[in-house]
Amino acid sequence: MNENSLDDRIALITGSGDGMGRAHALLMAERGADIVVVDVNRRGAEETAAAVERLGRRALVCEADVAEPARAAAVVAEAVRVMGRVDILVNNAGFGQRATTPEIDEAAFDRMIAVHVKGAFFFTRAAVAGMKERRRGKIINISSIWGMSGAPVAPHYCAAKAALLGLTKAWAKEFAPWNIHVNAVAPGGVRSGGPIKMDSPEILRAKEERVPLKRYCEPREISYAVAFLASSEADFITGQVISPNGGETIVGI
Ligand SMILES: NC(=O)c1ccc[n+]([C@@H]2O[C@H](COP(=O)([O-])OP(=O)(O)OC[C@H]3O[C@@H](n4cnc5c(N)ncnc54)[C@H](O)[C@@H]3O)[C@@H](O)[C@H]2O)c1
């Protein structure tokens, strides 16, 4: 991968105040992009922005709950006003929640869908207008291995992440006439977010043993896939899902 592959691109990354979103921001900045750091957690967003600036790139902090469509429009408008445009949109903001069906009430279900699906929908709706004008754009939706395989402890999360795969394919077709590429990255186990916040070290280790490569990955290993899809090296790739997962989806007998 060319280290200047994202030179002078403007990337808006939701949920980049921590975890994988921050890793995406830093790798993209290393490869030449300026970053719009969107997060509900202002402090985390400011830390990411400071790290981006230390790499010599511009950063804009936008505090927002992605589940609010009006904020999506306002954030994209601010990004265009301050940074000039949005070339790359990464719909990454999200959260894990372990619960079985009887434990999930309407509020929990609605929140899960609102953050992951509605959030991605309205950020894309806001950002794609400028991409269409320039006839160029990259949209990357962060799904999950669980959106493909299902899991017994988070049906609402699995549904939300599967919905992102549907949106990815629909948008790839809808926006292709404007040369806008839409793909998904569906990580397996990553040492960030849910696995770190919800699993004990022993449980995490046991889960890693079930992966052919015998480990979960570091956030940056997911960022390599995201940065590739954001670059012109992926200009013939659209409507696809890349799942860096250590081989977890090929485990059978
Ligand atoms: N960690 C994993 O193993 C794993 C695996 C597959 C997919 N994912 C997905 O990857 C994405 C990033 O996960 P992570 O592990 O880096 O999580 P993380 O908790 O480390 O970081 C998530 C970031 O998103 C922000 N965020 C959460 N809800 C938000 C909202 N409503 N509006 C704005 N910002 C919000 C948080 O404040 C945080 O900064 C998520 O979509 C997650 O579902 C994670």
Q: What is the pLDDT of residue 150?
A: 94
pLDDT tens-digit profile of 39-69?
Answer: 999 999 999 999 999 999 999 999 999 999 9
pLDDT (average), residues 6-16: 97
Chain segment 119-159, per-residue pLDDT in tens:
999 999 999 999 999 999 999 999 999 999 999 999 999 99
CB of 4 closer than 6 A to ligand 1? Answer: no
Domains assigned to the chain? 10-245 (3.40.50.720)
pLDDT score recorded for residue 166 = 98
| 192 alpha carbon – ligand 1 mean position (Å) | 8
Q: Is the pTM above the cut of 0.95?
A: yes
Per-residue pLDDT at 253: 57
Which residue minimizes the CA distance to atom 32 of ligand 1? 65
Residue among 14, 24, 26, 95 whose CB has most ligand 1 atoms within 8 A, to mutate: 95
Cα–Cα–Cα angle for 35, 7, 116, nearest 5°? 35
